[in-house]
Structure 1
Amino acid sequence: MRRPALRSRFLHTLSTLLLSSLVACAPLGPDFREPDIAWLSVWQPDLYGQTFRDPDAPDLSLWWQRLGDPTLDNLMTLARHENPSLQIAGLRILESRAALGIAIGFKYPQLQQIDAAGAYVSEYLHGGPDDDHRDYRTGDIAFNIQWEMDFWGRFRRGIESADASFFASIANQRDGQVLLAAEVATLYYGYKTTLQRIDIARRNITLQERNVEITRKLFQSGQESELDLQQARTQYLATLATIPVLELTRTLQRNALCALLGRAPGDLPELAGVDDHLPDIQQIPLSEAPVNLLLRRPDVRAAAWEAAAQSAQVGVAITDLYPAISLFGTLGWAGTSLDNLPDVSTIAAGPALRWNIFSYGRIENNVRVQDARLQQRLEVFRATVLQAARETDDAASRIAQTHARQGILDASLVAAERSLEIAMRRYQEGYSDFQRVLDAQAAVFAQSDLVVINRGDHVAAIIELYRSLGGGWREASVDDLIPADTRYRMQERVDWGDLLEEPIPATSGEALP
């Protein structure tokens, strides 16, 4: 009688110790800290004078509204609701939220299972003095439960990883907003730039067509040689050949905008009647230093969250080196219709241990694999910050240089127009041949086109600076992420519970702990 009592006391003590350790034991593996970027502390760029600090400046979430173009505002609103890539990013948030729910579920008993079976049995007994036959029914049912306790933090690290992945998906969706805003604005102003270039080409074609008629009449009257006529025709046809190229460019830009709006290629009613005016922006006001804005860029935040998710996976892998300790229980019943056999009820409970002691290096190498992946993620984070700084500096430099070039091109165009006036007067007075007029006209056309191209490049550089600073995203609700009709179809197809209505948590732009 003494041994069962000791066994019972031992099991009780063991269970108490296991439960206490479950609460007290810290999870194995590294606790993630966002790596410091040493050069950021000394990188204080003036961005070539293209930005200025204004504490009262609005944030960059709706930067395109500063351009004062209602058509662009409308396109941005449509793109945010209809863009396929942004909707896919929103669905990935829902996917990662559901995956987080799976990870949380492992905190509770992992096995909760009902087993049941029933059978009709027909037996024939052979070999006795008389063959016999009997029919009977059997049945059994059992409820099994097993709870692997989170002794080493396997499941806590799993939740930590899934939680970080969830926030990474939010950051990726915000990065999609940033890229989408920049792409819509770039295509829109590229479209307007192309309209200007087409207008310049057509005005020159009209002028050059007159030159062809003038030289044809002079040649037919014998006053000029055929050379002037053919040179005039060459210039006219060369300019005429630019129209199909420019029209193709405009079509491609329009179709790209259609794709961003989730529409089939074709006419965009929103662009009907749009003018070719380009905004004139001298400087960009910033409420904070560029360094602070860089660290809050959504792609930088996503890289940090992905590193945090992988850091937790290192801890999950390390727990495989240690025994898995579980509590199990079974409640069962088995019965038969045979009168001479009783029904049986079973109750069993106790601890269980599983330990892969001979893994032949598999577990250790899996830990190394996960750690190598963590280091890769850390390097991706550092590279993302470096790329963000480079893009910001490149965009600001491009703004400064296109601005400086614009002044030179404007002066060059004035000189080309003056040269054309002088060439025309000298030709009319008989002091020079018509070739000087053709050369001057070609110079005016070329300089006019360069002026417009550079002005478009300047606007594109401004858009790129807004993008490189992480402007163009805002907190999104579930309604913003996924259209209502899509959510309705998903709810009809699968029971989503409250996940399709739960608000998206706000995430800080500061560094992770």
Structure 2
Amino acid sequence: MGTCLTACLSACMRVGPDFQPQRESWSEHWSSTSIAQVTQIASPSDLQPDARQWWRVFHDDNLEQLIAAADANNGDLRISALRVIEARAQLGIALAGRYPQVQQANADVLYSARKRQDGFNTRSGAYVQYALGFSIGWELDFWGRFARAIESADAAFFAAQDNREDALVLVHAQVADTYFTLRTTEARLRIARENAQLQKRSYEITQKLFKSGETDELDLQQAKTQYLGTLSSIPVFESQIAVARHALCVLLGRPPGPLPELDVQPAKAGFVPLIDRAVLQDVPADLLLRRPDVRAAEHQMAAQSALIGVAKADLYPSVSLVGSLVWSASSLTGAPSTLAAVGGPSITWNLFDHGLITNNVRVQDARLQQLIVAYQESVREAAREADDAATALIAALQRDTILHDAQDAAQRSLTLANTIYREGYSDFQRVLDAQRALSAQQDAYVVNRGNAVSSLISLYKALGGGWYTGQPLLDPATRAQMQHRTDWGDLLDESKLPSAAHNVSRAPGSPAVSNQHEGPSQ
């Protein structure tokens, strides 16, 4: 009968708005010429890596090892996972509100002594009184206060999962971007060393010619200046490599130190790949709305919308079933024990709140409107990020061919300048100019390659790619520590944890987790 009563109460009216997605019309069919130019929609039979694990398009085992290590140990990911567990416990608190609550329980033991004088006789005695009682109250959810609170906690739970997936997107992009920054800097260091060796030979030649009187000091000093200038860039690149390695260590949840993950494929050192398009499994407009941070913003709106209903329920009378059960007894011989039970309905209605409740409803509504604007802004910002990344990638791809040809031309110019100088048809300045141009073009070519990779990573990130991880929500050590400290029941059981990724098609605000609970989470 209790189950039937609970079902009837759940069917009572819910005050407050039912959440409706606040998507702008343009977002449903958004497209971009730039994005179309550098993306490819994969067919179901395509063996290209899924956008959830886009880093596999680089076919770099070093990078995959770094991503796996970050998934297991990154501090931001661990905190975001714990917030999912916290949100699940908060949902349990909301679910508990639907059931009767013990409002007060007490137990009393009273020792009494008495002395009575009757003429010349004095009588004394002692006895003990016992009392045990408790009161129960059950607020009936006529106006949907608890249903709305559960709805809000339910949406907040999915928002926490979305935020964890957004943390995965950010961490994966940061690891990949830092890794290729490291590789780009290694390539620039190699170029600087090669050009330093080339310029050192020129400096040594001019030094011999100056000593033999075949050239003036100007050629010597210019060659020395150029050589030392290139040599001075080497410590800068070495420092940048060390800083990039330190950044990777922190992303992997460890102090600065060795990175054995970089030794899986030693041949990748200083190698910067060029990939001309992102492989997607859906159209950009749908991917944009499925970005974890956009989904989180929508679930946060749903949670706040339900809080309006919680606030509005205070405008109406609160109906509760209350009852008390009291047992009392005494150690006196012949004293009776009593058991009293009292029960009935109780109505509470704050009629003279002086606008407190009404203004609280307004506060909750204003907060919802803020979240609506923030959500719409986040979608626009996501579209801008994707378009910017695609535009930058197009520019880098166009420059790659040009810079490659410029690099070849600079190499040929240096060869010709050396030949003409040795034959006495030009001064040494042309050789120096050719060396300087070659160094600049080689460096620009590598830097542009690094920019192309960074833009591709930004494009995948802007479209919400990279939220997949093969790691459990909590690592075994953290799980064991928490279970040792607190009774978590089944809340740490991931097999009973609905996934936010599977919740994309569900309208935010409609119950998902709460329907799976038959009682308060234990």
Structure 1 CA distance for aligned equivalents of residues 191 and 376 of structure 2: 46
- Does the aligned pair in 2 maintain the 1:97–1:166 contact within 8 Å? yes
- Residues 235-314 of structure 1 mapped to structure 2, 5 A cutoff: 235-272=226-263, 273=266, 274-314=268-308
Structure 1 CA distance for aligned equivalents of residues 302 and 491 of structure 2: 24
Structure 2 CA distance for aligned equivalents of residues 156 and 103 of structure 1: 9
Query: Residue 108 of structure 2: SS of its match in structure 1?
Result: strand
More deviation, 252-261/19-28: 19-28
Q: Is the counterpart of residue 509 in structure 1 residue 504 in structure 2?
A: yes
Matched with 2:43 is 55
Matched with 1:408 is 402
Q: How far is 1:19 from its partner?
A: 8.7
Matched with 1:397 is 391
- Does the aligned pair in 2 maintain the 1:60–1:466 contact within 8 Å? yes
Q: What is the identity, as a one-letter code, of the residue corresponding to 1:510?
A: S
- Does the aligned pair in 2 maintain the 1:55–1:288 contact within 8 Å? no
Structure 2 CA distance for aligned equivalents of residues 243 and 268 of structure 1: 22
Structure 1 CA distance for aligned equivalents of residues 301 and 384 of structure 2: 22
Structure 1 CA distance for aligned equivalents of residues 116 and 293 of structure 2: 76
Q: What is the identity, as a one-letter code, of the residue corresponding to 1:139?
A: Y
Q: How far is 1:341 from its partner?
A: 6.1
Give me the TM-score of the superposition, normalised by structure 2. Answer: 0.89
Structure 2 CA distance for aligned equivalents of residues 130 and 369 of structure 1: 76
Q: Which runs of 5+ in 1 are unaligned?
A: 1-17
Query: Residue 354 of structure 2: SS of its match in structure 1?
Result: coil
**Aligned pair in 2 of structure 1 residues 451, 20: CA closer, same or farther (>3 Å)?**
closer
**Aligned pair in 2 of structure 1 residues 20, 394: CA closer, same or farther (>3 Å)?**
closer
Structure 2 CA distance for aligned equivalents of residues 233 and 122 of structure 1: 110
- Does the aligned pair in 2 maintain the 1:34–1:511 contact within 8 Å? no
Q: Is the counterpart of residue 358 in structure 1 residue 352 in structure 2?
A: yes
- Does the aligned pair in 1 maintain the 2:473–2:494 contact within 8 Å? no
Q: Is the counterpart of residue 419 in structure 1 residue 413 in structure 2?
A: yes
**Aligned pair in 2 of structure 1 residues 123, 420: CA closer, same or farther (>3 Å)?**
farther
Structure 2 CA distance for aligned equivalents of residues 207 and 475 of structure 1: 47
Matched with 2:58 is 67
More deviation, 337-346/74-83: 337-346
- Does the aligned pair in 2 maintain the 1:61–1:473 contact within 8 Å? yes
- Does the aligned pair in 1 maintain the 2:322–2:345 contact within 8 Å? yes
**Aligned pair in 2 of structure 1 residues 23, 169: CA closer, same or farther (>3 Å)?**
closer
Structure 1 CA distance for aligned equivalents of residues 234 and 393 of structure 2: 28
Structure 1 CA distance for aligned equivalents of residues 422 and 97 of structure 2: 92
Q: What is the identity, as a one-letter code, of the residue corresponding to 2:187?
A: Q
Q: How far is 1:110 from its partner?
A: 2.4
Matched with 1:26 is 13
Structure 1 CA distance for aligned equivalents of residues 185 and 135 of structure 2: 72
Q: What is the identity, as a one-letter code, of the residue corresponding to 1:415?
A: A
Structure 1 CA distance for aligned equivalents of residues 418 and 10 of structure 2: 94
Matched with 2:484 is 492
- Does the aligned pair in 2 maintain the 1:311–1:371 contact within 8 Å? yes
Query: Residue 76 of structure 2: SS of its match in structure 1?
Result: helix
- Does the aligned pair in 2 maintain the 1:323–1:356 contact within 8 Å? yes
Structure 2 CA distance for aligned equivalents of residues 395 and 256 of structure 1: 23
- Does the aligned pair in 2 maintain the 1:21–1:151 contact within 8 Å? no
Q: What is the identity, as a one-letter code, of the residue corresponding to 2:238?
A: E
Count the aligned residue pairs: 493
- Does the aligned pair in 2 maintain the 1:205–1:239 contact within 8 Å? yes
CA distances 1:36-91 after superposition (whole Å, capped 9, x unpaired): 21112452223251113333345311111121111112222221112121111111
- Does the aligned pair in 2 maintain the 1:82–1:261 contact within 8 Å? yes
- Does the aligned pair in 2 maintain the 1:296–1:510 contact within 8 Å? no
Q: How far is 1:135 from its partner?
A: 4.1
Matched with 2:475 is 483
- Residues 18-167 of structure 1 mapped to structure 2, 5 A cutoff: 22-46=9-33, 47=35, 49-56=37-44, 57=46, 59-111=50-102, 113-122=104-113, 135-167=126-158
Matched with 2:338 is 344
Q: How far is 1:495 from its partner?
A: 0.9
**Aligned pair in 2 of structure 1 residues 439, 338: CA closer, same or farther (>3 Å)?**
same
Q: What is the identity, as a one-letter code, of the residue corresponding to 1:378?
A: I
> Out of 412, 426, 444, which is 1:432 matched to?
426
Structure 1 CA distance for aligned equivalents of residues 349 and 247 of structure 2: 57
Identity %: 47
Q: How far is 1:134 from its partner?
A: 5.8
More deviation, 38-47/383-392: 38-47
**Aligned pair in 2 of structure 1 residues 24, 214: CA closer, same or farther (>3 Å)?**
closer
Structure 2 CA distance for aligned equivalents of residues 331 and 108 of structure 1: 18
- Does the aligned pair in 2 maintain the 1:295–1:511 contact within 8 Å? no
More deviation, 156-165/105-114: 105-114
- Residues 448-463 of structure 1 mapped to structure 2, 5 A cutoff: 448-463=442-457
CA distances 1:205-227 after superposition (whole Å, capped 9, x unpaired): 11111222222222222222222
Structure 2 CA distance for aligned equivalents of residues 95 and 464 of structure 1: 31
Q: How far is 1:423 from its partner?
A: 1.7
**Aligned pair in 2 of structure 1 residues 385, 124: CA closer, same or farther (>3 Å)?**
farther
**Aligned pair in 2 of structure 1 residues 333, 187: CA closer, same or farther (>3 Å)?**
same
Query: Residue 332 of structure 1: SS of its match in structure 2?
Result: strand
Structure 1 CA distance for aligned equivalents of residues 18 and 317 of structure 2: 22
Matched with 1:227 is 218
Query: Residue 144 of structure 1: SS of its match in structure 2?
Result: strand
Structure 2 CA distance for aligned equivalents of residues 512 and 396 of structure 1: 30
- Does the aligned pair in 1 maintain the 2:10–2:144 contact within 8 Å? no
Q: What is the identity, as a one-letter code, of the residue corresponding to 1:288?
A: D
Q: How far is 1:376 from its partner?
A: 1.1
Q: What is the identity, as a one-letter code, of the residue corresponding to 1:426?
A: I
Structure 2 CA distance for aligned equivalents of residues 105 and 36 of structure 1: 33
More deviation, 23-32/366-375: 23-32
Structure 1 CA distance for aligned equivalents of residues 437 and 293 of structure 2: 45
Q: How far is 1:268 from its partner?
A: 0.6
Q: What is the identity, as a one-letter code, of the residue corresponding to 2:365?
A: D
- Does the aligned pair in 1 maintain the 2:274–2:452 contact within 8 Å? no
Q: Which runs of 5+ in 2 are unaligned?
A: 509-522
